A and B are shown apart, each in its own frame.
Chain A
Amino acid sequence: MDVIAESNKSVTTGIDEKDIKNWVKIYVMGKAYRVPAGLTIMQAMEFAGYRFIRSSGCRAGFCGACATIYRKAEDYKLHAVMACQTRVEDGMFLVQIPFSPAEKSIYNINKENYNVGTLFKHYPELARCLSCNTCTKSCPQDLEVMDYIQDAIKGNFRAVAEESFDCIQCGLCAVRCPAELVQYHIAQLARRMYGRYGTKEPELLNARLKEIEKGKYKNDWDRLLKATTKELEKMYAEREREPD
């Protein structure tokens, strides 16, 4: 166990400078720091002494809290990434955008119509899309954001739902959109509409719900809840695994 703990030390307690051979220089909001090469932006900022309150959530690329933009010297391009999923590079000029104020429409999913009108009713600014593709370029998940917005305009719920599915709602698209759309909220509405109205009924689930309601398993429960550990062990060992 101690050997395992030792090999994980850099991850669990922070990096020991003695072990570092290669260094890079990064700029956090304009301030230069020397940090070990190979760290993520988040790890590098912590190494440099930052203790996050904002801009750190799941630390695994799912939550969108650490949306970060950076530019490099003599490069016109503004890059958009997640700080927890991106290696530092020499000369990065970084700033984090942990919060983007955005309006979410309020609705009742049970009362909406499954047509394009619903999207425009809640997000009329959809019509302002300039097709400039800035949203797509700013997406750290590499989603085709502009494409799904165009699908939304056409009322193609399935396409919006599938294209936007991997969205982590970091908000970078909405911050950069010149037409001031909130792409990720529009996609959320479209996905819920598709999930609710665009798929067939799962008949097996409905049948099981009825069985449970009718008390089909009552006798089994009476038996199981009274069973001794020994009896449970026996039942467990006798289960048969369904074929692959």
Chain B
Amino acid sequence: MSEVKYIRGYPEYMRELIDTVNQTRIKRKDYTPRAMSMEERGNVLKLHPDFAPGGKRKISIGQNKGDIGANEVVDLLEAYPLVKDEEIDLSKVDYEPDILIIGGGLAGTSAAIWANNQGVPAEKILLANKLRHGDANSIMAEGGTQAADRPNDSPVIHFLDAMGGGHFANKPDVLKALVEDAPLIIHWLIELGAMIDREENGEFSEKWGGGTCRRRMHACRDYTGLEEFRVLRDEFRNRKIPSLEFYPAVELLTDGEGRATGAILCNLETSEYEIVKAKSIILATGGFGRLHIRGFPTTNHYGATCDGLVLAYRAGAKLRDTDTVQYHPTGAAFPPQIIGLLLTEKLRSMGAQPVNKDGEAFVFPLEPRDVEAASFIRECYVRNKGILTPTGMRGIWLDTPLIEVKNGEGTIDKAFPGMKRMFERFDIDMRTDPVLVFPTLHYQNGGVETDPEGKTDVEGLYVAGEVSGGVHGKNRLMGNSTLDCMVFGRRSGIYAAEYVKKAKRNGKLSLEHVKRYVNMLEKAGIKRERKAPILLPDYRGKAVLARMIDVF
């Protein structure tokens, strides 16, 4: 904006504050605040958006009645369907694959490839995407993928790290599957030609992640998810597996007796519905960042609107750990164009320190994400040592130049090309200046309850990736989400393939479960003011909306 004077990307008053950070950098080079005790963690977590008063309520209907969830999520569970039973002709089936996969991020794409490996012919698989194949949170994963493959590490230590990070609420058998398959997944990726950062001797260049006690992060520069995903999508296309784009699922279909038998898809451009009949369905629809829970900005992609939970819940699947939401400690807080976008945890793994207004390092940089995020909120809103932005946000400095001081000049160019490029577009050089951060809505910790095979308690319905619940408990660690997608994408693909070989197609497609759900909504006295799934958020200007007329 023209009247504000910017000097190398920052307004003048922020420049002065940056001087303070620059002055204390050398002192902080060899000083890291110690990690918190469990008691200290407990204290600061009281300020976390999950625990701060308000924001949540009990689910009033369905199999999780009485459980706590974020208001925004419960709103969608307590909402009416988009389609009415009488509008839909289920007798004309448009697609009849053995396996229908809903959602084409890392999880869905992995599931397709492994179902194919397991003997399901390509033409008997169908991948339906809400947007393009790959418009998913997966490709935005920056930091890495965990796998315990160094001699001083083991899947057992990985298990303990994730258990503690998840507040011991993780499902142990599901978590075991995650950590024990991790080395296999890395091996699979490099067999397919993924470029994971290596040392000259061929070993992986492994980094720290928050809440881990070993270095086990496998990264691809700061484009980890992008590299993993585009390799898998390329492989998917080589196998000629059918895929539909701009076709979100708006409802699942069941046989009326608890088995999932298909889905209703909607062509986003023509609004025409299409019917899929399948022997088994893998739900890989991702998370809910675009619900902006508690008014937070998000790192998530445009389509992350919680559809999977809504559809699976109506079909009778149980949810779990709906009471927690992950806020990533380091979302961008400045410039305003990129508020909420992710600044990878790998920045802190490689030495960037969170610093307050007075240039002090105030927290161990690699606490589990919920603890780290809560400590930023405390610094900004309790201790009043945050930095005020021109748009009224408060933030914490992330001292990125320290990465160059600790690892040598040129490290940022090499390890963080994506981050550097993002700030350069707004005239900020993160090699010489710190960047401003504040927690941002990042991840759906819970979801549709799963078992080690990716099964839900609805027969024929599998889940993989962020939509599932159980593996991360109440808080996910860095590097376990891309891993989750591939481990349970693979597992659900394999077990769904085994299931369809045995399953008899009973041929019945119905919306009975939706009718029952609507009855429950009515009985509970829920007004018909909300519909779900919402498919896409709406950011249109209010003035335009106020003058909109319905002409065709």
Whether B223 and A50, one on each chain, are in contact in the complex, defined by CB atoms closer than 8 angstroms, is no
Whether B301 and A58, one on each chain, are in contact in the complex, defined by CB atoms closer than 8 angstroms, is yes
Whether B213 and A240, one on each chain, are in contact in the complex, defined by CB atoms closer than 8 angstroms, is yes
Interface flags for A224-244 (1: CB within 8 Å of B; 0: not) read 110001001101110111101
Interface flags for A144-175 (1: CB within 8 Å of B; 0: not) read 00000000000000000100011011000000
CB < 8 Å neighbour of B172 from A43, A50, A106, A224: A224
Whether B1 and A195, one on each chain, are in contact in the complex, defined by CB atoms closer than 8 angstroms, is no
Per the bound structure, the CA–CA distance linking A229 and B47 in Å amounts to 25
Per the bound structure, the CA–CA distance linking A186 and B46 in Å amounts to 52
Which residues 188-239 of A have a CB within 8 angstroms of B? 188-189, 191-196, 199-209, 212, 217, 220-221, 224-225, 229, 232-233, 235-237, 239
* B160 within 8 A of partner (CB): yes
Per the bound structure, the CA–CA distance linking A59 and B394 in Å amounts to 22
Whether B151 and A60, one on each chain, are in contact in the complex, defined by CB atoms closer than 8 angstroms, is no
B52 surroundings in chain A (CB, below 8 A): 1
* A15 within 8 A of partner (CB): yes
Per the bound structure, the CA–CA distance linking A161 and B196 in Å amounts to 12
Whether B540 and A46, one on each chain, are in contact in the complex, defined by CB atoms closer than 8 angstroms, is yes
**Given A202-B202, A233-B168, A161 contacting B195 (CB threshold 8 A):** yes
Which residues 26-59 of A have a CB within 8 angstroms of B? 37-40, 43, 46-54, 56-59
A241 surroundings in chain B (CB, below 8 A): 35, 213
CB < 8 Å neighbour of B393 from A8, A192, A232: A8
Per the bound structure, the CA–CA distance linking A123 and B545 in Å amounts to 48
Contact-residue bracket for chain B: 35 or more
Which residues 188-216 of B have a CB within 8 angstroms of A? 190-196, 198, 201-204, 208, 213-215
**Given A169-B230, A239-B160, A48 contacting B541 (CB threshold 8 A):** yes
CB distance from A144 to the nearest CB of B (A): 13
* B156 within 8 A of partner (CB): yes
A117 surroundings in chain B (CB, below 8 A): none
Whether A242 and B152, one on each chain, are in contact in the complex, defined by CB atoms closer than 8 angstroms, is yes
CB < 8 Å neighbour of B135 from A5, A58, A196: A58
* B38 within 8 A of partner (CB): yes
A232 surroundings in chain B (CB, below 8 A): 160, 163-164, 168
**Given A8-B297, A12-B297, A1 contacting B336 (CB threshold 8 A):** no
* B274 within 8 A of partner (CB): no
CB < 8 Å neighbour of A200 from B53, B202, B296: B202
Q: Which of the candidate stretches B62-70, B82-90, B421-429, B488-496 sits at the interface with the other chain? A: B421-429
Whether B294 and A1, one on each chain, are in contact in the complex, defined by CB atoms closer than 8 angstroms, is yes
Whether A10 and B336, one on each chain, are in contact in the complex, defined by CB atoms closer than 8 angstroms, is yes
Per the bound structure, the CA–CA distance linking A26 and B134 in Å amounts to 30
**Given A21-B3, A191-B195, A232-B163, A52 contacting B213 (CB threshold 8 A):** no
Interface flags for B127-149 (1: CB within 8 Å of A; 0: not) read 00001101101011000000111
Per the bound structure, the CA–CA distance linking A112 and B116 in Å amounts to 21
A39 surroundings in chain B (CB, below 8 A): 337
Whether B203 and A37, one on each chain, are in contact in the complex, defined by CB atoms closer than 8 angstroms, is no
B539 surroundings in chain A (CB, below 8 A): 13-14, 43, 46, 51
* B378 within 8 A of partner (CB): no
Interface flags for B145-187 (1: CB within 8 Å of A; 0: not) read 0011111101111011101100010001100100010011011
Whether A10 and B391, one on each chain, are in contact in the complex, defined by CB atoms closer than 8 angstroms, is yes
Whether A208 and B394, one on each chain, are in contact in the complex, defined by CB atoms closer than 8 angstroms, is no
Whether A217 and B155, one on each chain, are in contact in the complex, defined by CB atoms closer than 8 angstroms, is yes
Whether B213 and A7, one on each chain, are in contact in the complex, defined by CB atoms closer than 8 angstroms, is no
A217 surroundings in chain B (CB, below 8 A): 154-156, 180
CB < 8 Å neighbour of A60 from B140, B152, B154: B140
CB distance from A185 to the nearest CB of B (A): 8
B231 surroundings in chain A (CB, below 8 A): 191-192, 195
Whether A212 and B541, one on each chain, are in contact in the complex, defined by CB atoms closer than 8 angstroms, is no
Per the bound structure, the CA–CA distance linking A47 and B545 in Å amounts to 10
B interface, over-half SS: loop
Whether A239 and B157, one on each chain, are in contact in the complex, defined by CB atoms closer than 8 angstroms, is yes
**Given A1-B54, A53-B536, A106-B237, A12 contacting B148 (CB threshold 8 A):** no
**Given A17-B542, A49-B540, A58-B135, A85 contacting B422 (CB threshold 8 A):** yes
Whether B156 and A220, one on each chain, are in contact in the complex, defined by CB atoms closer than 8 angstroms, is yes
* B363 within 8 A of partner (CB): no
**Given A161-B195, A192-B193, A86 contacting B425 (CB threshold 8 A):** yes
CB < 8 Å neighbour of B339 from A11, A48, A161: A11
A192 surroundings in chain B (CB, below 8 A): 192-194, 231, 234
* B13 within 8 A of partner (CB): no
* A68 within 8 A of partner (CB): no
Per the bound structure, the CA–CA distance linking A11 and B296 in Å amounts to 9
B184 surroundings in chain A (CB, below 8 A): 209, 212
Given A65-B135, A87-B337, A195-B196, 14 additional A-B pairs, CB 8 A: A6-B392, A10-B336, A14-B539, A51-B536, A58-B135, A60-B341, A62-B223, A86-B425, A191-B195, A194-B193, A199-B198, A202-B203, A202-B204, A236-B168
Interface residues of A (CB under 8 A from B): 1-17, 21-22, 37-40, 43, 46-54, 56-63, 65, 85-87, 104, 106-109, 141-142, 161, 165-166, 168-169, 188-189, 191-196, 199-209, 212, 217, 220-221, 224-225, 229, 232-233, 235-237, 239-242, 244
29 contacts between A and B (CB under 8 A): A1-B52, A4-B377, A7-B392, A8-B340, A12-B292, A47-B541, A49-B548, A59-B341, A60-B140, A60-B341, A61-B421, A63-B301, A106-B237, A165-B220, A165-B227, A166-B223, A168-B226, A188-B230, A191-B193, A192-B234, A195-B193, A196-B191, A199-B190, A205-B186, A205-B187, A224-B172, A232-B160, A237-B38, A239-B164
